[in-house]
Amino acid sequence: MPPELLAAFEKSICMCIRSFRKDGAPVDTPTWTTPIDGKLYCYTDDRTFKIKRLRRNPNVWIAASDVWARPSTAFYPGVCRFVLEPERRTEVFARLKAKYGFHWYISLLGSLLVGRVPHRIVLEFEIPADAKPL
């Protein structure tokens, strides 16, 4: 990941994931994020349309953003991977908990109440170090 982009994500509230529908139409989705080892991580419910789009096409555009998916950086090309390793999943959740604090607990409470916790899936986004903004 380019260093200037990594610095932006360390300060950013969210990242905007631009995934693509079957017809090629872009869909912007804001998610909480944390950088680990030069990659970006987030989590989401495995039943969402975002996951269906990413299973079909793991190529995405990524930008730092606010909670309404308004980008604060240019978009960069990236590739999504579903994280299945328990150790990495634990690390991602610990980092997100540390970054978002009180908001993490409110979100967790809501997820527990509606039964979303068993459906959480962790996503890894890799942006090449030599990537140019789109």
Distance (Å, rounded) from C-alpha 100 to C-alpha 59? 27
Answer yes or no: is 49 within a domain.
yes
Answer yes or no: is 131 within a domain.
no
Q: Strand, coil or helix: what is 125?
A: strand
What does pLDDT average to in each consecutive run of 10 residues of the chain (134 residues)? Answer: 87 94 96 94 94 96 94 96 96 95 90 88 95 90
Answer yes or no: is 119 within a domain.
yes
Start-to-end Cα distance in the chain: 14
pLDDT reported for residue 125: 97
The CATH number that applies at residue 46 is 2.30.110.10
Answer yes or no: is 42 within a domain.
yes
Domain of residue 61, residue span: 3-126
Distance (Å, rounded) from C-alpha 84 to C-alpha 122? 8
pLDDT reported for residue 57: 97
Answer yes or no: is 132 within a domain.
no
Number of domains within the chain: 1
Global pTM reads 0.91
Answer yes or no: is 134 within a domain.
no
pLDDT reported for residue 6: 87
